[in-house]
Amino acid sequence: MSREIPPTECCVTIAGTGSYVPEKVLSNADLERMVDTSDEWITSRTGIKERRLAADGQATSDLATAAAKRAMEDAGVSAEELDLIIVATISPDAFFPATACYVQKNIGATNAMCFDISAACSGFLYAIQVARHFINTGNRRTALVIGAEKLSSMVDWEDRNTCVLFGDGAGAAVLRRDDSGDAGRKVISASLGSDGRMTDILHVPGGGSAMPITHDNADQKLNTIRMQGREVYKNAVNAMRRAAEDALQRGGLTAADVDMLIPHQANKRIIEAIGERMGIPAEKTFINLDKYGNTSAAAVAIALDEANKTGAIKDGDNVVLVAFGAGLTWASTLVKW
């Protein structure tokens, strides 16, 4: 049963964060034994040293559930209080039902409405904005937003250009309505966008209705990630910078007011370029991709939780979350921590 609240603009806060990464570590040294690559090549071009892989039988919903429980504990929220669950993922357990429904079952959130969204690496920030709208219209009070991926199930482990980039994991946040007006961790503004003209520079060509996997084409590995690296780099830097600056402008701030930038964890060169173009110093940029690689929709969510739990962000900080993903999609969120 949903809890109806009079529709009015309200304060939406991040009441808690959580994350989970699988135990199995795949290092660059491990990859050297699998494909023609080297630790030096991977590190110098991406900044990634290792990534995590889900165990056999561990699905995206399992990763999401673990992160969700930690976020709920951090927020002091019970499963019964949740009235909305959104999972952002491009590696769902199945085409249907929604991975969010599996999470609902796992945590016992019987009062929640559940669905997934697909916006690739921007998915977690898309989901935050969707949840924020539900809360602002008065239809929901407490939302669980999760970014979760098992990208190891979509990687061609013989393609040295892509298999070195991706990992598995999940991050989550609990969003709550706060009518006091003076709560911390308030979501201030957001900027989201898409450009479907560039769907082909980062995609999985097969496996869907347009190109079902058959016995005849299975050996072409059409259900694995394909990427045009240079095009992705160029568009990622420009799109994330614009999105971050737009969110700041909507919140009445500039890059000089940013205390912490938490960008999508895809490539260290991309992260450095964004900081340089915005004039945000490296010490105000949170990076953990060296440990986890690119976990798509989970990346910003995991980074936010680590920044929160390690004290990298503090009360009163202006925090900018920004991401870019296949679609093309991009998103940024400004939070007054």
Greatest Cα pair distance in the chain: 61
Cα separation of 266 and 107, whole Å? 30
- pLDDT, tens digit only, all 337 positions of the chain: 334 434 445 699 999 999 999 999 999 999 999 999 999 999 999 999 999 999 999 999 999 999 999 999 999 999 999 999 999 999 999 999 999 999 999 999 999 999 999 999 999 999 999 999 999 998 899 999 999 999 999 999 999 999 999 999 999 999 999 987 677 899 999 999 999 999 999 999 999 999 999 988 889 999 999 999 999 999 999 999 999 999 999 999 999 999 999 999 999 999 999 999 999 999 999 999 999 999 999 999 999 999 999 999 999 999 999 999 999 999 999 999 9
Cα 147–127–208 angle (5° rounding)?
Answer: 70
The structure's pTM equals: 0.96
Active site residue 133: no
Identify whether the C-beta of residue 117 lies closer than 8 Å to the C-beta of residue 167. no
Candidate list 101, 223, 235, 264, residue with the active-site label: 264
Candidate list 114, 121, 223, 318, residue with the active-site label: 121
Domain 186-336 in CATH 3.40.50.2300? The answer is: no
Q: Which residues of 118-136 are buried (b: 16+ CB within 10 A; e: fewer)?
A: bbbbbbbbbbbbbbbebbb
Q: Which residues of 93-117 are buried (b: 16+ CB within 10 A; e: fewer)?
A: beeeebbbbbbbebbebebbbbebb
Active site residue 114: no
Active site residue 264: yes
Q: Which of 112, 106, 108 is nearest to 131 (CA)?
A: 112
Is the N-terminal amide bond of 97 cis, ω within 30° of 0?
Answer: yes
- Across-strand partners of 114? 85
- Across-strand partners of 330? 193, 324
Superfamily of segment(s) 11-178: Thiolase/Chalcone synthase (3.40.47.10)
| Cβ-based neighbour number of residue 3 at 10 Å | 13
**Which string of DSSP letters, residue by residue, matches 137-177?**
TTS-SEEEEEEEEEGGGT--TT-TTTTTTB-EEEEEEEEEE
Candidate list 223, 267, 294, 308, residue with the active-site label: 294
Identify whether the C-beta of residue 209 lies closer than 8 Å to the C-beta of residue 282. no
Structure tokens at 302: 């995991």
Query: Do 11-178 and 186-336 fold alike per CATH?
Result: yes
Cα separation of 186 and 263, whole Å? 19
Question: In degrees rounded to 5, what are phi and psi of residue 294?
Answer: -90, 115
Count the alpha carbons within 13 Å of 12 in the hemisphere toward its beta carbon. 29
| Cβ-based neighbour number of residue 57 at 10 Å | 6
Q: Which residues of 193-231 are buried (b: 16+ CB within 10 A; e: fewer)?
A: ebeeebeebbbbbbeeeeeeeeeeeeeebbbbbbbeeee
Domain layout of the chain by residue ranges: 11-178, 186-336
3-state SS of the chain: helix, strand, coil percent to 5? 35, 25, 40
